Structure 1
Amino acid sequence: MNDATDDGTFAAEAAAAWAVLLGWCRGPEPAEETERALRRLIEAAADEPVLRVLCPWLSMTGLNVSTSTDFRVWGIEGFPSVVAWKGEFTVVEGLGRENRVLLETADVAEAVALLAGRVRERRA
């Protein structure tokens, strides 16, 4: 397991994970609106410095970030996730039945800004 406190391995692995996601974004344009929205979300999140230094991971159509490359801790850090669905973006906090919707918007920049703000708060 590598995390944001290690010797630089985490930074390289996080950058590689972003590269994989961005590589998918550069592929053929998907026909499905939810996949197009997910691409916009990934691209916008990758442009946000506070998110770009974390490890990104997807769950269905949700983008999540972590301070670890160990999948066993993904989702328990308290960072919200952003779900892309048919051109809409929902910022959700919590796990399972304890999910709490923080924002529903058609503006990907607004969703990413809220995610980045919550990450900054939790890492302060």
Structure 2
Amino acid sequence: LNVARRELTTSRTVTRQVRTVVWLFKMLYDFSLNAQINHRIVIDELSYDTRNDKAFAVNGRVTYPYMRGDVLTKPRITKGQIKEIILGGGQNLLSPERRFDAIIFNSPDLFD
């Protein structure tokens, strides 16, 4: 939101970040009315004749202040609690190509 606001103020064009904010608000609006979101329709109808492959991408300088917040640096769920949540060998069914799954998948000591 901060990047989109800055870009609207300076360039007054629909940049990738501005377009992404428009999508986000449209999806939230649709959800408030219908309790569901059809993201394909939102993205297709509000594409502004541009490619959409990096719509939610921002560089680390923008995300760093958010990434170092307490919610991420001090998780609510401890390592010890993970094995109480994932039961019956469920860790073996995770997809290691996903970040969270990879952390669990590559930490077999959690389930000893």
TM-score interval for Structure 1 and Structure 2 normalised by the shorter chain: under 0.3
More strand by share: 1
Q: Give me the TM-score of the superposition, normalised by structure 2.
A: 0.24
Q: Give me the TM-score of the superposition, normalised by structure 1.
A: 0.23
Greater relative contact order: 1 or 2 (C-alpha under 8 angstroms, separation 6 or more)?
1
More helix by share: 2
